[in-house]
Structure 1
Amino acid sequence: MRRDLADLSAFVAVARLGSFRRAAAELGVTASALSHALRALEERLGVRLLNRTTRSVSLTEAGEQLYARLLPAFEDVATAVDGVNSFRDRPAGSVRINVPRLAAATVIAPMLARFTAEFPEVRLEVTVDDGVVNIVDGRYDAGIRFGEAVERDMIAVRVSPDQRFAVVGSPAYFEDRPKPISPQDLRHHPCIGFRLPTSGVLYRWELEKDGIAIEVAPAGAPILNDPELSIQAALDGVGLAFTGAGILAPYIEDGRLVQVLKDWCPPFPGFFLYYPSRRHTPAALRALITVLQGA
């Protein structure tokens, strides 16, 4: 029975990750040992569970049925084990979260030192990804996104104040150019574009004032897909950049960048940590929420 449980756990890991290599790394074994264990399990069951090629692993029909039955059971076991944390003096375990780069810089980075000091037995794993990620399919415990992007069936907890975007340029850039005072003026400025990583769409700058909303298609400057690169381009005088005011704050405060059209950049709901509704929230995740909320 013990051997069957170990091999079934290995099967669930391979099925979830779709890779012997990644499953082996997660379980702390070699890929060859894991493959051998799965073949032994198939022999004992008398049915093939996995289709293997040199590049991929997929489930057979029998494998899909077994995985669908096993996954809830193993999740219940993980929840039960984590529940024991309530009897400990301090939370322990691991937390995997997926966050966009802006949240990594403005929400996660400022609290990392405090979190690791207060909860040394919790292992926090942060994946920085600007794409639209299904945290359930990705086996993340939680994600962080703007409130408007969080799905309604998730539990959402605010972890930042309201946010703003900002339009900025370098002082040298404005030495021989007038500062824009309305969105229409942007037609006379090179505006650094941002390509959305998931859809590949060129993001249109969203500006609003007194109930009037205007979208500006950036033109005349490079198109990038990294906020830090956009900031550097603005610092170098390439053109105007449009990104989160939080990440721009140090540059604006010390005068390296000049903010314009501030009255056209209203606040909007900030970042929320979200996670699936479940009967028991892991103690390690509760600890993270506590720190993110500044409690």
Structure 2
Amino acid sequence: MRQPNLTDVVLFAAVVDAGGFRAAAQKRGLSASSLSDCVRRLESDVGLRLLNRTTRCVTPTAAGERLLERLRPALREIDAAFNDLDDEAQRPVGTLKLNVPVPVARFLLPDLLARFLRLYPGVNVEVVMDNTFIDVIAGGYDAGVRYEESLAKDMIAVPIGPRRQRFVAAAAPSYLAACGTPGHPEELVGHQLLGHRFESGKVGVFEFEKEGRILRIPPQGQLLTSSHDLKIRSAINGLGIVYTFEDFLREPLADGRLVPILQDWWQAFDGPYLYYHGRRHMPSPLRAFVDFLKAQATEEGWPPCRARSVPQASR
């Protein structure tokens, strides 16, 4: 017996359910002759007559009845599977796994995900914080968020969050009273600069920019840490100068625990991008999230822009 064609099997069941070729053809949008050809091919494949054909009606033979009895549960499962796909397209379900840097997880995602998850109650989100650039697919993630432009050609990048961000330099009033307030980045030499070491082992550089001129100052001081919280608390306690994402310093600057310095040299850079593989099936939770971000970009009126490398101090 040859392996039957699944389409022929489905159409055979449709003919029996409709009680004839003409009625089944009308429901399926096919010709009665093409349906008849499909059934004949199925009968040839199984080596048995499956339908009794008369001028008045079409009924299954005993073999046809037995076959349909076994096939109907499978056919219902197939139909349900495709219906589920359609439902998934309309109401995404499943888990969205994201790999994001610390600033994005702390300051951008909370409000963003609150709106997104209320729209899609069938979606769960798993977020892992990681400041290194990784292969999201190899890591088992659906997508990542990064600032750098070093994306593979088969990756797609979508803006997420504010399109311009900047680094802010600040120190506690007690530190500036004791050590002086630098008026130029070159005057940072000799100051206590609170350094940041990244997961890669690299130490961030204080990178300033003004009118196209870039100055890079390696941090020198008593404290080097991978903890943003420790670095900021140490600055508040008067241990040195901190240079980091503006969001990290917004509250202590607002309440006076820290004082901004070198404002003319603060370096701005493009906001983060969601990136994902462009050559694989997009799971429905990821598709929903991408559509959500694109709608937000339209609402905010964000101009299209290319990602570029974020300053050295953030890497």
Note whether the superposition's TM-score is higher than 0.5: yes
CA distance in 2, matches of 1:81, 1:201: 50
Matched, 1:250 2:254: no
Task: Give CA-to-partner distance per residue, 1:191-222, whole Å, 9 cap, x none.
Answer: 01111211x12111111111211110111230
TM-score normalised to structure 1 length:
0.67
Q: Once the 2 structures are TM-superposed, how far is the Cα of residue 147 of structure 1 from its aligned partner?
A: 3.9
1:197-236 matches, cutoff 5 A: 197-198=199-200, 200-236=201-237
1:187 equivalenced with 2:194 (yes/no): no
CA contact (8 A) 2:99 2:130 kept: yes
CA contact (8 A) 2:147 2:273 kept: yes
1:237 alignment partner in structure 2: 238
The structure-2 alpha-carbon separation of the partners of 1:273 and 1:207, relative to structure 1 and needing over 3 Å to count, comes to: same
In structure 2, the residue corresponding to 1:197 is in which secondary structure?
A: coil
Question: Which deviates more, 118-127 or 284-293?
Answer: 284-293
Aligned twin of 1:32:
none
With 139-148 and 248-257 compared, the bigger mean Cα shift is at: 248-257
Aligned to 1:128: 129
Q: How does 1:16-55 map to 2 (within 5 A)?
A: none
Task: Give a deviation string over 1:206-259, Cα, whole Å, max 9, x none.
Answer: 111112111101112300012222111111111111111122222222322212
The structure whose Rg is larger is 2
Counterparts of 1:124-163 in structure 2 under 5 Å?
A: 124-160=125-161, 161-163=163-165
Could you tell me whether the CA contact under 8 Å between 1:85 and 1:91 is conserved in 2? Answer: no
Q: TM-score, normalised by structure 2?
A: 0.63
> Hey, what does 2:178 align to over in structure 1?
176
Aligned length: 215
Q: Which residue of 2 aligns with 1:277?
A: 278
CA contact (8 A) 2:158 2:293 kept: no
Partner Cα distance (1:172, 1:291) in 2: 45
Q: 1:120 to 1:183 in 2, by over 3 A?
A: same
Does structure 2 retain, via aligned residues, the 8 Å contact 1:99–1:127? yes
Does the 8 A contact of 2:99 with 2:144 survive in 1?
yes
Q: Alpha carbon RMSD of aligned pairs, Å? A: 2.3
Which residues of structure 1 form unaligned runs of 5+?
1-79
Query: Do 2:154 and 2:279's aligned partners in 1 also have CA atoms closer than 8 Å?
Result: no
What amino acid does structure 2 have at the position aligned with 1:108? L
Q: Aligned with 2:173: secondary structure?
A: coil
2:115 match = 114
- Cα 1:115–1:176 change in 2 (3 A) is same
Change (3 A) 1:201 1:229: same
Rounded to whole Å, the distance in 1 between the matches of 2:280 and 2:190 is 56
For residues 289 and 82 of structure 1, the distance between their equivalents in structure 2, rounded to whole angstroms, comes to 23
Given that 1:231 and 1:241 are in contact with CA atoms closer than 8 Å, whether structure 2 keeps it comes out as yes
